[in-house]
Amino acid sequence: MFLEPQETMPQTSIVFSSILGPSCSGQGQPGMGERGSGAGSSGDLVFQEGRLISGSLEALMEHLVPTVDYYPDRTYIFTFLLSSRVFIPPHDLLARVGQICLERRQQLETGSEKAKLKSFSAKIVQLLKEWTEAFPYDFQDEKAMAELKVITHRVTQCDEENGTVKKAIAQMTQSLLLSLAARNQLQELREKLRSPAMDKGSVLKAKPPATQKDILGMCCDPLVLAQQLTHIELERVSSIHPEDLMQIVSHMDSRDKHRCRGDLTKTYSLEAYDNWFNCLSMLVATEVCRVVKKKHRTRMLEFFIDVARECFNIGNFNSMMAIISGMNLSPVARLKKTWSKVKTAKFDVLEHHMDPSSNFCNYRTALQGATQRSQMANSSREKIVIPVFNLFVKDIYFLHKIHTNHLPSGHVNFKKFWEISRQIHEFMTWTQVECPFEKDKKIQNYLLTAPIYSEEALFIASFESEGPENHMEKDSWKTLRL
């Protein structure tokens, strides 16, 4: 048995430009209270069975801002702050929130009710605290920071010297600045460690020396390698934030000349994580193709099959898919003599799980099982769920594409954004799991810095291991040798 070669080298980054295929997402939105709006404008909000399903943007903004007697549900705060950026930039939303706060504060001041004014101020600070904690990057914009200062100055006017409101604002501001500093520092360190792909000349000149280590020389235990891959996955996926994922929606709207255009620089974390998938796939192909002896190539393939299986057992579906993709690349898949010696029963099971038919139905069933295991987990090992990232992105993209932002009434289709928020919130829950496995710096360093062959270099190494078999391959081989 052997795998049929693919016509081209797959790159998952296509999901950020032109994503094809139907979405498969669950139904059900987080519930909310029956209250029409924090501002009493219930006529502009529509509920269905106690759930907010639509409303004008203005009414939704007013529903976000507390009153003396009302504080918005935390699920609503997260969902609206996340989805609002599709319609209005965060600094403009903050400015409108500030205006609503001022109007409500003035109403309380006219009544000379100091106790209620303090209660209102405390609730505004709590809202800002939740905003800065959930979406600190919104405040990297100087306009947003300026608006934040204006609002906090207003709410402290009724607070005595060193009062509780002022202390809460000071703590919030300090935490926000620390979060922004940490994120900026992380972004500076996020430059790729990997060496440039080896060009075809370096492969043609000489085979790797027998003393040069390969992945088996670094780690011969599939479970250990799967655990180290999981370490890398969790470390990298933790740098993705909810607003980064919402850029998928914002970018699509920007192509439709929508008011709120996505900032391309904010998709860096998405593209960096997506690039890790491609690098791992290419590393797998490189490790196989660089091996000179067929017996050792067979062992290498069987090793990666076992690693992929261990990744599946852990719940690391992204690394599993990357490994399978690497073994399905044409330079590896065409090695028929090598594959004929491989015990492929395990690989067949893995491919069954990742069968793309019915919109990856088998994978989605496995992901659902891992999710249920995570929810009932007693140990951190059972909590790990790392979905195939490009499929997750496709689901968000198509959930947005097949449902309109606005209803015929002109209302925001909030039911749609409940579901997008639910899926993103679930993803963020997975990213916050602490990796329970012991870190091996040597293995991780190899995975991140080992040379990767370019596409041409992979084909050259592949043809040198098993010569071209048909006219097309012979023509390709001649072209590569030029």
DSSP string, 269-280: HHHHHHHHHHHH
Q: In whole angstroms, what is the distance from residue 137 CA to residue 139 CA? A: 5
171 and 225 both lie in a single domain: no
Number of Cα atoms under 13 Å in the Cβ half of residue 428: 17
CATH number of the domain residue 131 falls in = 1.20.870
Range of the domain at 301: 218-256+265-480
Q: In whole angstroms, what is the distance from residue 119 CA to residue 240 CA? A: 35
Q: In whole angstroms, what is the distance from residue 165 CA to residue 293 CA? A: 71
Q: In whole angstroms, what is the distance from residue 81 CA to residue 87 CA? A: 11
CATH number of the domain residue 362 falls in = 1.10.840.10
Query: In whole angstroms, what separates CA 41 from the centre of its chain?
Result: 36
User: Quick one: DSSP state of residue 265?
Assistant: G
Residue 103 lies in a domain: yes
- Give the residue among 7, 456, 462 at the shortest CA–CA distance from 202: 456
Q: Which two tokens stand for residue 220?
A: 């011969």
Residue 95 lies in a domain: yes
Query: In whole angstroms, what separates CA 64 from the centre of its chain?
Result: 26
Handedness of CA 365, 369, 371, 372 (dihedral sign): positive
Helices (H), 189-335: 200-205, 215-218, 222-237, 242-255, 268-289, 294-314, 317-328, 330-333
292 and 382 both lie in a single domain: yes
Are residues 72 and 127 in contact, defined by beta-carbon separation less than 8 angstroms? yes
- Give the residue among 162, 123, 128 at the shortest CA–CA distance from 145: 128
| Domain count across the chain | 2
250 and 325 both lie in a single domain: yes
Are residues 4 and 258 in contact, defined by beta-carbon separation less than 8 angstroms? no
Residue 198 lies in a domain: no
Domain end (from 139, 162, 185):
185
Question: What torsion, rounded to 10 degrees, do the Cα atoms 130, 435, 305, 328 define?
Answer: 30
271 and 335 both lie in a single domain: yes
Residue 192 lies in a domain: no
Per-residue pLDDT of the chain (482 residues; tens, 9 = 90+): 334 334 333 344 433 333 323 333 333 333 333 334 443 335 689 999 889 999 999 999 999 999 999 999 999 999 999 999 999 999 999 999 999 999 998 888 776 667 788 889 899 999 999 999 999 989 988 899 999 999 998 888 765 655 788 889 999 999 999 988 887 766 665 554 444 555 555 544 344 555 568 899 999 999 999 999 999 999 999 889 998 898 877 665 554 444 443 444 456 778 888 889 999 999 999 999 999 899 999 999 999 999 999 999 999 999 999 999 999 999 999 999 999 999 989 999 999 999 999 999 999 999 999 999 999 998 889 999 999 999 999 999 889 889 999 999 999 999 999 999 999 999 999 999 999 999 999 999 999 988 889 999 999 999 999 999 888 988 888 888 87
Number of Cα atoms under 13 Å in the Cβ half of residue 53: 9
What is the residue whose two structure tokens read 């905003």?
131
Whether pTM > 0.85 for this model: the answer is: no
